[in-house]
Amino acid sequence: LLTVYTPTGIPTFETGSFWHYNTSKRGVTLNLEMEDGRRLFQQMAEQADVILETCRPGYLASLGLGYEDLATRNPRLIMCSLTPFGQSGPWRDFQTSDLLHLAAGGQMARCGYDEEVVPGAPPIAPGGGQAWHIGSHYAYIAIAAALVNRSVTARGQYIDVSVHDACALTTEGHVNQYIYKGRVVPRRTGGGNTNTGPNAQVICQDGKYVNVGQVAPERVLTLAPWIDEHGLAGDLLDEKYRDPTVVAESQSHIRGIFENFLANIPRDEAYHGLQRRGSNTGAIRSPDDVMQDPHLEDRGFWTDVEYPELGETLRHPGPGAIFNGSPWRISRRAPFVGEHNEEVLCGELGLSKEELAALAEKGTV
């Protein structure tokens, strides 16, 4: 797995995201504006299964490195272009950001505070570079499908992935509801999803939160004795709550008792106790909570990666799936700029060390 940069590196090189997303890769530098750089790239393309590129639309083709150029030498090549708006359309040359994609794709219209909680609250973009993740996931799926197709046809193909298109596909069922029902789904985050019963994020004694679903009639009977053990059940032991209609009409009152109870016990006691009693409840975890998750630890999710230059071993998230036939692990930290030039360009493409040094002197690598 090779990643190719310009000899000057890339802007994200000194960011945490670079070192997170580029583990297990080898790093090579090439200046594609120079003839020798293009020639070396063509040689690598002749041996490649897949090329994933994120250059501006038309850039590689302008250098004679587009899919049609490369596929003449390697008909099995699969090439995927992942760009903000794709290779065509009126927006193809626009610059963008994660925030703009989430706005234009529809995600922000579904995220934010409830109108009844914060009147006039604006839409809010989810954090974590979600648009880039969405686009990358669709690129991965498309490449996997192309690999399956190649196993039948023995030929590769070109894939044009647009982050904007991918985001427009990822708005739960809200686009479909508008298409088929003419219904614009209102923004509801704090109060839950309009397609399910209401839920709430409730603070507990230790300042941590749980996400709690609607208290169903049968759950009142189950939870009331537990709440009463803490002397906080109020009137929940009253026989009237055996009537589902009374429970439905008393949701606000019940929720008040319930939230007061949760405010008097720690989060972990709250969500474990609620789950044991059949309530649809989960802990709202912070990143440091996730790092301590015994379930992930038991599954071997975390991977320790050596950083010899730092004299440290740092913990990285592992795979989201376990393969019994091809165990996947992080094999190395992300590469420095040009770290594997000699290994790849000399060891695999046949350059001599003297030739490599001359190319470096010219700024080709």
Q: Which CATH number fits domain 2-172+296-362: 3.40.50.10310, 3.90.920.20, 3.40.50.10540, 3.40.50.1100?
A: 3.40.50.10540
Mean pLDDT of 139-143: 98
Q: How many residues does the chain have?
A: 365
Q: Is 271 helix (H, G, I), strand (E, B) or coil?
A: helix
Instruction: Quote the pLDDT of residue 324.
Output: 86
Residue 274: predicted pLDDT: 93
Residue 122 is predicted with a pLDDT of: 85
What burial letters (b/e) apply to 115-149, b meaning 16+ CB within 10 Å?
Answer: eeeeeeeeeebeeebbbbebbbebbeebbeebeee
Domain boundaries, the chain: 2-172+296-362, 200-285
Between strands 78-83 and 50-53, the pairing is parallel
Q: Which residues contact 216 (CB under 8 A, 6 or more apart)?
A: 247
Where residue 219 falls among pLDDT bands split at 50, 70, 90? confident
Q: What is the dihedral of CA 62, 63, 68, 69, to 10 degrees?
A: 150
pTM: 0.85
CATH topology for 200-285?
formyl-coa transferase, domain 3 (3.30.1540)
| 288-304 confidence digits (pLDDT tens) | 999 999 999 999 999 99
Q: Which residue has the tokens 């909570």?
A: 289
- The answer to whether the beta carbons of residues 313 and 305 sit under 8 Å apart is yes
pLDDT by residue (tens digit) across 190-207? Answer: 555 555 555 778 999 999
* DSSP for residue 242: G
Of all residues in the chain, the percent with pLDDT exceeding 90 is: 72
Q: Are 172 and 94 in contact (CB under 8 A)?
A: no
Structure token digits, residue 149: 């197709």
pLDDT in tens, 275-334: 999 888 899 999 899 999 999 999 999 999 999 999 999 999 988 888 888 878 899 999
